[in-house]
Structure 1
């Protein structure tokens, strides 16, 4: 079967312990924490459903069976991790399910207000120039985030490390470089560093608002943000 240059598969990260959520994740995994009456993972899957992604893979570890039960009946594949592998290791371990083509990766702990970030990434993806294209949030549009930012973006979208825009947790990327990383558990930062060294890591600026739901304060901010949406 010929390989595609356009992603039609998404990897949704759902394996972490969610320790910053405190008591909220003592009995449930963070992807099942409710925001405005719906689980975080359902808000994330809404984004993929809206653009017709054909294959969805969810990685699991902490209270993984609860997530399996919650998603029962949906066309979703699961990559169970015997130990926490971090984002890069989790993606590498899931490659047999994901296949060799570029993939979307999506964190399950953010709420977006505005255009669908996946649709925007798909429209801007250019595999001839890019090994990855990530959605970046200007600090003034980010709620629940206290850092200095992750990347500086040049006029053409090419990225370098440094204070500035915030990685929003959704991207398109090629996965071949994962095989060059001789570790089981590692951050996607190692793969991004490969791409940065080749000048092939790119970003796209999100025009709407974004909320990091990493702690209970972020949960309240997310619910307030959803409450401002037009019905």
Structure 2
């Protein structure tokens, strides 16, 4: 997201007049989530100042100023706050429009089955996404089981940045710094990674030029 991120952390970059992080926090608030743990590292003071004005959900800061732990390591660091029950994970730039009659987060929670699943991801069809410039992430079986995209294939679903995971996936890791994607891929190899299809349009804003496309889509569709 350079040059925008030279002075502003990515979660605070504005899309549609609002910082991107506010969209997912609003979704969690509407779904009844009481506490959100937010990892901070780059330009962390700005993020803390912005979130200090928020009443719900309650914000707990997990400070990574001293060492950036990557997504997986950041989640592992937050486990003492999260306890031993499954929890939501979310990228701070994950947002969508045109949600169905039932909130996607509630649909995701309703589909969670700990007997079959180690992780359940909210996935979007590439045909109902904006800003997807890669070949997709997963194939999804009729029962919702996800398979990682093979290198030479184009697949119909992308990970929206939101999911439900078991804490055991992270407590068992031996490295302090690790990525999240390999955790999901390992669960997929065991047949324990599942997907729930997002209702609505997913907006991926991974570059400055993607902001215009996202904002145009927001104007053209009811939020």
SS in 2 for 1:168: strand
SS in 2 for 1:43: helix
TM-score of the pair, normalised by structure 1: 0.87
Matches within 5 A, 1:53-68: 53-68=33-48
Matches within 5 A, 1:1-231: 21-74=1-54, 75-81=58-64, 82-115=66-99, 116-162=103-149, 163-164=154-155, 165-230=157-222
Which residues of structure 1 form unaligned runs of 5+?
A: 1-20
Q: Number of residue pairs matched?
A: 211
Report the Cα distance in structure 2 between the residues aligned to 1:175 and 1:191, rounded to whole angstroms. Answer: 11
Cα offset, 1:23, TM superposition? 1.6
Report the Cα distance in structure 2 between the residues aligned to 1:25 and 1:158, rounded to whole angstroms. Answer: 36
Report the Cα distance in structure 2 between the residues aligned to 1:193 and 1:229, rounded to whole angstroms. Answer: 34
8 Å contact kept, 1:153–1:160: yes
Cα offset, 1:124, TM superposition? 1.3
Q: CA RMSD in A?
A: 1.4
Report the Cα distance in structure 2 between the residues aligned to 1:227 and 1:119, rounded to whole angstroms. Answer: 26
Which residues of structure 2 form unaligned runs of 5+?
A: none
SS in 2 for 1:133: strand
TM-score of the pair, normalised by structure 2: 0.90
Cα offset, 1:148, TM superposition? 0.7
SS in 2 for 1:57: strand
Residues 46-89 of structure 1: CA distance to partner in whole angstroms, max 9, x if unpaired? 11011010211100000111111001143210001122211111
Report the Cα distance in structure 1 between the residues aligned to 2:202 and 2:46, rounded to whole angstroms. Answer: 27
